[in-house]
Structure 1
Amino acid sequence: MTTVYQTIRVRFQEPVCFIQFYRPEDNNTINDLLLTECTQALRQYQDVATVFVLEGLPEVFCFGADFKAATGDGEKLGPEPLYDLWMQLATGPFISVAHVRGKANAGGIGFVAACDIVIADDSAQFSLSELLFGLLPACVMPFLVRRIGFQKAQYLTLMTRPVSVQQAHAWGLVDAFDSQSDALLRTHLLRLRYLSRQGIQRYKRLMHALYDLSQSRSLAIDANREVFSDRDNLQRIERYVKTGLFPWESEP
């Protein structure tokens, strides 16, 4: 029986499972339901898929946390499910591929950095905007530093502005890009299909042992909780949700 999802679209073409973020009305931002559904899809297919491909929409891959959900009432899952989902992409017994088109921002960078391979088209842009609101890309950083190194991750964090796909490729955040990224993705998948499940499992186990992301989990989660419990930060976020104005902009 096919599972019906609200925030993602899933299709399985053996041995590849495609997971598409699908919140077009909300810029493909991350809410609790998206985290729950992505985690569920990984669990459902990881015994039959050797490759998972994460995709967004042509204009936006994923734009980070849903600020409307962050400032709304009701119980929230907290940062643990997000970090654990990225951990599963980074260490699970499969090859994870991010196919990035358009904008990837904040938590969207976390999805990108957690994946084993990153394919992009020439419209892709990459940014970390958290510090503009007094926040930190706390959960993103262990994955991003692992992928591109400390100083490049720091520069991307402090400057808060988007970088082009060409720059992201030079830094190692993107492995390959082309104006026809669908064709580029197919070429990669044709090769990845040759890898055995056992070989992938052994390889991922080794890589996790070489760079253990679980050691950074508590530090990242504590930092995330700190900035999202700061009253001033929450006021900045709420104002942005209501007006679309950044903290330094004056209301007309």
Structure 2
Amino acid sequence: MLSDIDIVFLANSSSNKSKEVLECFSSEWAFENTCVKVVTDARSGKAVSAARDLTFPISVCDDPSEVGTTINEVTDKVSGCDYLISIGWSHRVPDEALAIPETAALNVHSSYLPRYRGLSVHRAQWANAEAEGGVTVHEMTSEFDEGDIIAQQKYRIGLFETPLDMVTTIGELAAALTREAILLLEMGYTGEEQKGEGNYYSLLPWSTVLKYGIVNHVLRLLRTNRRVRVPSGQN
């Protein structure tokens, strides 16, 4: 059991992923002398309600570009922060904020990196009718989704699963991997550099997701490897 750990979560207030991670993390973690606080980008939403139900103190950051100020206000109250963990935070975290935690600034990403970098990439994975997804906990850097990998795991995407089903799976897996990542870092693990090429996806509108997803799921049902893939930016 870990103890005397101070964690600040960066949560998107309306994100299913943020909600699922907070709820599952609470059930996974043994909270002995562990201080957990949540910074959100709004005063209401699914993740905010979950944090309140779990009695996690909440601070609202009205200006994401000034998130470092809000984090500092939080960490002053808990005498420092060991981990800053982004769970669906959809804004760039400034370098000065990344330097706040004493041990690590981590991001919980909804893919098996380096594949599918970007925002809400479960939408792109579903649109491409992928049979396999993943979750990665990696160190945050000034570049989106490019830090060293601390923990990651793949999962099976069923043919008839919806994007919401994927979010639930991602949340459960992300909570367990977050705990695993902290355990590894506490034991001195430094992570592994990302290897291979990846694709970057901006936030896809649902109209695009459905247009590609229906076609590609029919192709998957027909047991062909052919896909009409959603355009992405290479990086």
TM-score surpassing 0.5?
Answer: no
More strand by share: 2
Scaled by the length of structure 1, the TM-score of the pair is: 0.27
Report the structure, 1 or 2, having the larger helix content.
Answer: 1
